[in-house]
Chains A and B, each alone.
Chain A
Amino acid sequence: MKKQMLRFSRVSLIYHTKHGETTAAENLSLTVDEGEFVAIIGPSGCGKTTLLSLAAGLLKPSAGTVETGGSCGYMLQKDELFPWRTIEKNIYLPLEVKRQNTPEHRERARSLAVKYGLGDFLQSYPSELSGGMRQRAALIRTLATDPDILLLDEPFSALDYQTRLNVCDDVSAIIRSEGKTALLITHDISEAISLADRVLVLTKRPAHVAYEHRMDFGDVQKPLRRREMPQFSGWFETLWKELNQ
């Protein structure tokens, strides 16, 4: 049996505000194995971001337990690159924060950037890059500290359609070739199908896992190729129905 990198056991989370309480997750259980790419889809406002915050340890569950088998790297919807830093300095940011800013670590992060096509942009500022390139830089920043699990919160939703398909391909290729475990949150059904090994469908709020499917695209991992395969539309229909129940 494979090592589990992330396990939620009967997790509940309640937000308290002046106006009342919101149960964002209830009795939520899931696991992610080492090296697996899991996508989670759910209606908007159901508690997807909450789930990632729990996984990243930014929130403590109100009930149940969250266990992780390693360090987490968090990637947000927008690139959130710091405009006053060059791409290179942006990529070193997590190293600085985690006090791992040694020449070896910097070299590793740098070579990742070069390997994935950012070599010419290291001295550029974020405003000089296209949306797709910026999101790629954000991914390299996430990978800079060599995290064991990547947590991706709708990382493509701020991009236009054309860019989104390409960046989706890029990101998938990078994550697969680095052999990372990934948990992707999205509300885009086709994105989930084209990227993941396994897709979890969440219920409306309070969120818990309603359905779980293992994708059957064989060895095909490239999102653009998966979209052309005959199984794709079948999965789309299934997930569409489950999501709209």
Chain B
Amino acid sequence: MKYAKEKQLFSHEHMLYLKRRRRRQAVVWTLRVALLVFLLAAWELVTTVFGWVDPFFMSSPSRIARTIASLYAEGTLFYHIGVTLAETLVGFAIAVIVGYGVALALWASETLRKVLEPYIVVLNALPKIALGPLIIIWFGTGSEAIVFMTVLVGVIVATLHMLSAFIATDKNKVLLLRSMGASKWQILYKLVVPSSLASFISMLKVAVGMSWIGSIMGEYIVSRAGLGYLIVYGGQVFKLDLVMSATVILCILAAGMYFLVVLLEKAIVKNAES
């Protein structure tokens, strides 16, 4: 017996295989959700219900929910989210664009690469937070400072990631293009850029993580608004509920941004296939 799926015919055995696969996926998802529910329930139980741990030190899911609700009621929830999100996205975009551009320049000129190599190594190894005071003096305590920190954290990684992808371009394909008389510019956009597309996507994924590190770190040092500010402020006045609430929102935002990159990846892969 044959079954039709997307205009294609599959054997009975293949349908069983697909069914098993779907079932396995369903199990994974159920367990994922169950784990989350279990952790939240346990958290709530040990703090609020049994009172084994003082919620003052650990907060609790219900208190987090209440805190977020009151932030929303005060009208500051989306303000803080917006500030952090904007800083992160702007920093991310600048880091990616500058990183890509610098990587191209380094690919194009071996001399430049050799000259800058030690500087890049040092910048990469340097803990960016050490530059905090300098950043405050140069950029003040506004969003510019935080965006700068975000760029700083992301740009080196983006550069190194793309540079290694550019350099790994298939030598024989370069030779082929050169035998056709291709210019460096043609080699770049006909071969180097398209063949490094997969690395570009993986660079975006890394850069998403780096941007959040950068923006929150920046807000720790200077800010007067944003999720990082809420965390620092909450810590200073011992409002653990606030700290936990901001952290939870951060988790959701970071996951959402990563998910967007994955969607982009799927769209690009689909586009390349059709």
Contacts and interface: CB of A to CB of B under 8 A. Distances in A.
Contact of A94 (B175, B180, B191, B194): B180
A97 B273 CA distance: 23
B194 A58 contact: no
Chain A at the B interface: SS class: loop
Contacts of A211: none
Contact of B180 (A77, A78, A97): A97
A216 interface: no
A82 B195 CA distance: 8
B179 A58 contact: yes
A237 interface: no
Contacts of B176: 74, 76, 80
A136 to B, nearest CB: 16
B182 A97 contact: yes
A209 interface: no
A82 B180 contact: no
Interface in A65-80: 72-74, 76-78, 80
Nearest to B183: A97
Nearest to B272: A84
B190 A76 contact: no
A76 B175 contact: yes
Interface in A86-113: 93-94, 96-98
A98 B175 contact: no
Contacts of B197: 84
A56 B179 contact: yes
B170 A97 contact: no
A96 B197 CA distance: 21
B172 A78 contact: yes
Interface residues of A, number: 19
Nearest to A145: B180
Interface string A125-138: 10000000000000
B172 to A, nearest CB: 5
Given A80-B173, A84-B272, A97 B191 contact: no
B177 interface: yes
A72 B179 contact: yes
A178 to B, nearest CB: 18
Contacts of A58: 175, 178-179
A84 B195 CA distance: 8
B76 interface: no
Nearest to A151: B179
B191 A82 contact: yes
Contacts of A74: 175-176, 179-180
A97 B185 CA distance: 10
Contacts of A56: 179
B118 interface: no
Interface string A49-72: 000000010100000000000001
A54 to B, nearest CB: 12
Contacts of A97: 177, 180-182, 186, 190
A106 to B, nearest CB: 16
Contacts of B272: 84
A77, A94, A97 — most chain B CB neighbours (10 Å): A97
Contacts of A78: 172
Given A82-B173, A84-B194, A98 B181 contact: yes
Contacts of B180: 74, 93-94, 97-98, 145
A94 B180 CA distance: 6
B198 to A, nearest CB: 10
A93 B180 CA distance: 9
Contacts of B273: 125
Nearest to A95: B180
Contacts of B179: 56, 58, 72-74, 151
Interface in B207-260: none
Nearest to B179: A74
A90 B172 CA distance: 15
Nearest to A96: B190
A76 B195 CA distance: 19
10 contacts: A74-B176, A78-B172, A80-B176, A82-B173, A84-B194, A94-B180, A97-B177, A97-B182, A97-B190, A98-B180
Interface of B: 170, 172-173, 175-182, 186, 190-191, 194-195, 197, 272-273
Given A80-B176, A84-B197, 6 more contacts: A58-B179, A76-B176, A78-B172, A82-B195, A97-B186, A98-B181
The 6 closest A-B pairs by CB, nearest first: A74-B179, A97-B180, A94-B180, A97-B182, A80-B176, A56-B179
